[in-house]
Amino acid sequence: GSTLQEAAAQSGRYFGTAIAANRLSDSTYATIANREFNMITAENEMKMDATEPNQNQFNFTNGDRILNWALQNGKQVRGHALAWYSQQPGWMQRMEGSTLRSAMINHVTQVATHYKGKIYAWDVVNEAFADGSSGGRRDSNLERSGSDWIEVAFRTARAADPAAKLCYNDYNIDDWSHAKTQGVYRMVRDFKQRGVPIDCVGLQSHFNPQSPVPGNYQTTIESFAALGVDVQITELDIEGSGSAQAESYRKVTQACLNVARCTGITVWGVRDTDSWRASGTPLLFDGNGNKKAAYTSVLNTLNAA
């Protein structure tokens, strides 16, 4: 294949990117996005603050712009994210307890219903585990609303859109030896054992020199997959440049290719200048839209599979 999406499709996988609605009018951006990627994630536009700015008043304008652009161009969409401690609208940040629980359930129901039948996979719950050595949950208003809030969110999402794959998505769960990875693993194993509807785990995979691609990355992917869920690399970016960055991208791509249930890779933006890492160069295209060494590395790795 001569593009990332074509090369990934040779092994039945997808290659995706995050899209920002306000960049779709940039023709360089839209041309690269349309040519290279066949799975689209809204970078911010389907989050809680964007879709429910006032309680029970939903705004799907920008989420729909991205969804419609994707579907009109023959792409699939990952929904991001139904329930998260961060990027809650102000009214929700001030809620707690059973009031918050009801508002969360309503949010999941309304958003998943709006997009019903159009989403390949939802990040139902994002970033619910704590960093550090505890292996436990992150404190948040949602966590304090009752420790079963995560499974409630998954059951609610399944009821609203039975066709969407339902994912748990997090960062720093790439290293198999990390307590956070083990905590998420135990939750997914418990959900599978008890029949809580979960279909996939998203490894965000934001890497940098302080937090490089772990040597046991493939073990992590294999271990989650062995629980009977798909694994998706959902927000890949790797800070760096040149051949070192290209080698890190190769490792991530190869690890996914080596595991049958690793179904696709999404990078978190198109060009370096589109990245949330303000001063970084973590993506596959430079600010002018030129392919970087990291791009060639990923393409060649996909083509060799």
Residue ranges in contact with ligand G3I by CB under 6 A = 43-44, 86-87, 126, 171, 204, 235, 276
Nearer to ligand G3I, 91 or 276 (CB): 276
Q: Which one-letter amino acid corresponds to residue 222?
A: E
Query: From the candidates 36, 45, 127, 239, which is the catalytic residue?
Result: 127
Q: Which of 224, 214, 234 is nearest to 259 (CA)?
A: 224
CA atoms within 13 A on the CB side of 45: 22
Q: Which one-letter amino acid corresponds to residue 301?
A: T
Q: Which one-letter amino acid corresponds to residue 140?
A: S
φ, ψ for residue 16, nearest 5 deg = -125, 175
Give min distance, CB of 183 to ligand G3I, in A.
17
Give min distance, CB of 123 to ligand G3I, in A.
8
Q: If you write DSSP's letter for every residue of 151-167 in order, what string do you get?
A: HHHHHHHHHH-TTSEEE
3-state SS, residue 56: coil
Nearer to ligand G3I, 240 or 299 (CB): 240
Is 127 one of the annotated active-site residues of the chain?
A: yes
Nearer to ligand G3I, 7 or 21 (CB): 21
Give min distance, CB of 172 to ligand G3I, in A.
10
Cβ-closest position to ligand G3I:
276
Query: Residue length, the chain?
Result: 305
Q: How far apart are CA 63 and CA 182, in angstroms?
A: 33
Give min distance, CB of 151 to ligand G3I, in A.
21
119 close to 78: Cβ distance less than 8 angstroms: yes
> What are the angstrom distances between the C-alpha of 183 and each of 80, 128, 138, 233?
22, 10, 11, 18
182 close to 141: Cβ distance less than 8 angstroms: no
Query: From the candidates 36, 43, 222, 235, which is the catalytic residue?
Result: 235
Give min distance, CB of 285 to ligand G3I, in A.
16
* Residue 57 neighbours by CB under 8 Å, 6+ apart: none
Nearer to ligand G3I, 280 or 289 (CB): 280
Nearer to ligand G3I, 120 or 171 (CB): 171
Q: Could you list the active site residues?
A: 127, 235
